[in-house]
Amino acid sequence: MSYISCDNLSLGYEGKSILDNISFKANKGDYLCVLGENGAGKSTLLKTILGMNMPIDGLIEFGDGLCKHDIGYLSQQTEVQRDFPASVEEIVYSGLQSSHGFRLFYSKEEKELVRRSMERMDIVHLAKSCYRELSGGQQQRVLLARALCATKKVLVLDEPVSGLDPLVSSNLYSLISELNKEGIAIIMISHDLQAALKYASHILYLCNKPFFGTKEEFIESKQGKLFMAMKDMEDN
């Protein structure tokens, strides 16, 4: 069974659909890139998978030992979030799963998990720094460490390299790829077609006639060819 299976989803707000016929699966070890134009409904899809938004129709199933709360999430960044007045450590701690809401005390295991996540993202030296004073790339590493505290199974990332320069983006992509190779399934929204084609195992393309399949199937598909031609024109 897959970690996540979506069957014939319709997504939207207040009963009004913005996107229909979405079906896909994400399995252990997969690297799924979600592509689509601005406003296509990519962020809405991720929020729906995470239970922050109700689907209008269709089915979302979790399997292979995964439940909704085992998913690490990095949301699309807003200016307000970039200015968040907390220390790096506080932000990473906030990724710990908690059924008790706000807590003053953490177990040894939880502290260890935070430490390992910070080491993994190479931000231990920034622990006491103020988040809003960090560079864009450092901030994204903090948010990845936070998401890592919530999961060993699935990371859901909404445009993690948006606004970063090419070198910093490339470093972040490498880090994400390493996590994937260590066994964490990645579901990532990206505007970067080149990176999607380099790293993804599967592509979900959101449009009038949504596509889901392996990267190789996407490259050969009608939707894929159209999308790649469109991106080519944007770049030239």
Ligand X SMILES: Nc1ncnc2c1ncn2[C@@H]1O[C@H](COP(=O)(O)OP(=O)(O)O)[C@@H](O)[C@H]1O
- Residue 15 interacts with which of Mg ion, ligand X, none, CB < 5 to 8 Å by class: none
- Residue 25 interacts with which of Mg ion, ligand X, none, CB < 5 to 8 Å by class: none
Comparing CB distances to ligand X, the nearer of 41 and 95 is 41
Alpha-carbon gap, residue 123 to 139, rounded angstroms: 10
φ, ψ for residue 190 (rounded to 5)?
-150, 150
Rounded to the nearest 10 degrees, the angle between the axes of helix 108-120 and helix 136-149 is 140
81 sits near Mg ion (criterion: CB under 5 A): no
Alpha-carbon gap, residue 89 to 91, rounded angstroms: 5
Three-state DSSP state, 32: strand
Are 161 and 172 contacting, i.e. CB atoms less than 8 angstroms apart? yes
Comparing CB distances to Mg ion, the nearer of 120 and 191 is 191
162 sits near Mg ion (criterion: CB under 5 A): no
Which positions lie near ligand X, rule CB under 6 A?
A: 13, 18, 36, 38-44
Q: CB of 185: closest distance to Mg ion in angstroms?
A: 20
Q: CB of 233: closest distance to ligand X in angstroms?
A: 20
Q: Which of 210, 114, 140, 89 is nearest to 224 (CA)?
A: 210
Residue 171: which residues within 8 A CB-CB, separation 6 or more?
137
Count of other CB atoms within 10 angstroms of residue 101: 5
- Residue 44 interacts with which of Mg ion, ligand X, none, CB < 5 to 8 Å by class: ligand X
Q: CB of 39: closest distance to Mg ion in angstroms?
A: 8
- Residue 36 interacts with which of ligand X, Mg ion, none, CB < 5 to 8 Å by class: ligand X
Judged by CB under 5 A, the stretch of 42-50, 173-181, 211-219, 226-234 that binds Mg ion is 42-50
Question: Contacting Mg ion (CB under 5 A), which of 43, 162, 171, 177?
Answer: 43
- Residue 141 interacts with which of ligand X, Mg ion, none, CB < 5 to 8 Å by class: none
Q: Which of 201, 149, 187, 202 is nearest to 47 (CA)?
A: 187
Residues near Mg ion (CB under 5 A)? 42-43, 76
